[in-house]
Amino acid sequence: MSFAAALQRLALGACLALLACAAQAQGPGHAAIASPHSEATSAAQRILQQGGNAFDAAVAISATLAVVEPYGSGLGGGGFFLLRESGVTPRYTFLDARERAPASARADMYLKDGKVQPGLSVNGPLAAAIPGLPQALADLASTHGKLPLKDSLAPAIRLANQGFAVDRIYRDRATMRLSALRDDAESARLFLSGNEVPALGTVIRQPELAATLQAMAEQGRDGFYRGPMARRLVEGVRQAGGIWTLDDLAGYRTAWREPLRYPLADQRELISSPPPSAGGVALAQSLAMLQRLPWQSAEPVQRSHYVIEVLRRAYRDRGLLGDPDYVNNPINKLLARQYLTGLADSIDVYQATPSSALPPSPPWREGDHTTHFAVIDGDGNAVSATLSVNLPFGAAFSVPGTGVVLNNEMDDFAADPGGSNSYGLAGSQANAVAAGKRPLSSMSPTFIESPSQFATFGTPGGSRIPSMVLLSVLGFLEGQPVAEWPATPRYHHQYLPDVVEHEPGTFSARQKTELEGRGYRLKDVGRQYGNQQVLYWDKAGGTVEAASDPRGVGRAAIVD
């Protein structure tokens, strides 16, 4: 063989090796799914096996969860979708499908005689913002999917007609909202049995919801936001005291935003949710502070001390954020190295910092029953999505003839931005009710990526979402098995109230005594919370793993 031929062969071999490396970098070759319900996981498997990608699978999962988890999400709600488009250099995008306040909404709409009337923003159609999920499903299919929308909606339509069996989670959520469900005849008809919580195994059929999904399958977004369906929705809402209009529905649009991105150690990058989510900022701040603290080498109580203190400081800043289409969010200030270094350095190594010793921040509240899923396909496209109707079964109001239970996301706004707020005006105004505005949220679908690893995180849980995601991320950073990330015992601090909430059994008796000796006030919430779904792609090893929270009834799966 001549020298030139040998050189050519060597060059060809190098090119093939580079191509193999590039192919490996772009995708794992297998798909993985983690969802909170077996039916949703099965729907995604079918779509992937039909040639769909991760974005088509996300449509199928979302629509199926609208059927089997009416307490957590649905066509009457919204959510956040964090997307990864595969490539040697991946592209990340964030689809904001958060609900928007109706055009007639005003800052004092939940006040009477100068006082907040909480029930008005919780139950009934006045509590409902304009839904975003139907638009998001149409957007995902048209901009990122490989299959037509009707194919990805087909599993949910079939399931809505055939019915699904009531499980323990459904019974728990329906019990929590039993009184409100009973107060609405249509919700009681759809979701109760003889005005009581259905027994385990009871089959819930929703032909009206199937018809609504079918209208979307045939007409796309217009099957929900315009025409006969829109007229039915508006008529039902207004007859029951709501303020929706046809223009509100026709004018709804999702927002494509740049994800929040923050560099971490070891070539890792946090890719998470920007405002109107406050969760991504809290995660970035918490991880940045922990990088300055020896949390990995600390014994359990000391580690908990560090985590609680960074959460206290990150949550304090939440009240400064709001819908970026309406307010200027001080993201650069909140994520500035000098600022975060100062926060980390303010942590006493052994004693709790009373929240009263930190600068004040406005109080806030948020419903804690949402849903989350994650999916990655063989090419490396991935979705991490958190969806919500706010409280269990949302506003507990279902529009007759549609099968759609409405959200009560208006309750996530600051209902009284100027009157009874004892901590000042600025932060409350950032999240005050305004026409067309999206309420602030803690929903935090999250990726962490490096040249050798990719992981996704997310969970329902309202204000506790960032703390739950943080604890799982720490498990990932420590190299724990994937199944342990969503299973880790949970604790939480959110600046105010100045208390450490935790699940039963999170701390031993000795650990509780030590933490209390450091100045912490502990509160056992009496139940497990959250329902995290995670994925992991080992790029070097070419393997994917998925795990579903053992607290729920979800299922993880690997798909060839």
- The rounded distance, in Å, linking the Cα atoms of 543 and 227 is 47
In three-state form (DSSP H/G/I as H, E/B as E, the rest C), the secondary structure along 78-106 is: EEEEEEEECCCCCEEEEEEECCECCCCCC
In angstroms, what CA-CA distances link 79 with 20, 256, 360, 515?
37, 13, 30, 36
Residue 3 clears pLDDT 70, i.e. is over it: no
pTM of the model: 0.93
- Residue 142 within any structural domain of the chain: yes
| Structural domain span for residue 69 | 31-252+388-430
DSSP string over 497-544: S--EEE-TTSS-HHHHHHHHHTT--EEE-SS-----EEEEEETTTTEE
Taking residues 199-211, report their average pLDDT. Answer: 98
- Residue 233 within any structural domain of the chain: yes
Count structural domains, the chain: 1
Asked which of 254-258, 291-295, 358-362, 468-472 is least confident by mean pLDDT, the reply is 358-362
- Residue 146 within any structural domain of the chain: yes
- The rounded distance, in Å, linking the Cα atoms of 476 and 253 is 36
pLDDT band at 117; cut points 50, 70, 90: confident
- The rounded distance, in Å, linking the Cα atoms of 83 and 95 is 8
- Residue 162 within any structural domain of the chain: yes
**b/e map 158-196, b = 16+ CB within 10 Å:** ebbbeebebbebbeebbebbbebbeebebbbebbbeeee
Residue 118 clears pLDDT 60, i.e. is over it: yes
The confidence score (pLDDT) of residue 399 equals 98
pLDDT tens-place string over residues 17-27: 333 344 445 79
pLDDT tens-place string over residues 386-439: 999 999 999 999 999 999 999 999 988 865 554 432 222 234 567 888 899 999
**Residue 241, SS3 per DSSP:** coil
Residue the block writes with tokens 């079939």: 158
- Residue 230 within any structural domain of the chain: yes
- Residue 533 within any structural domain of the chain: no
Identity of residue 411: D
Pair 417, 437: CB distance under 8 Å: no
List, by residue number, the catalytic residues: 370
Give the other-Cβ count within 10 Å of 112's Cβ.
9
pLDDT tens-place string over residues 49-96: 999 999 999 999 999 999 999 999 999 999 999 999 999 899 999 999
- Residue 444 within any structural domain of the chain: no
Residue 184 clears pLDDT 50, i.e. is over it: yes
- Residue 379 within any structural domain of the chain: no
Give the other-Cβ count within 10 Å of 357's Cβ.
9
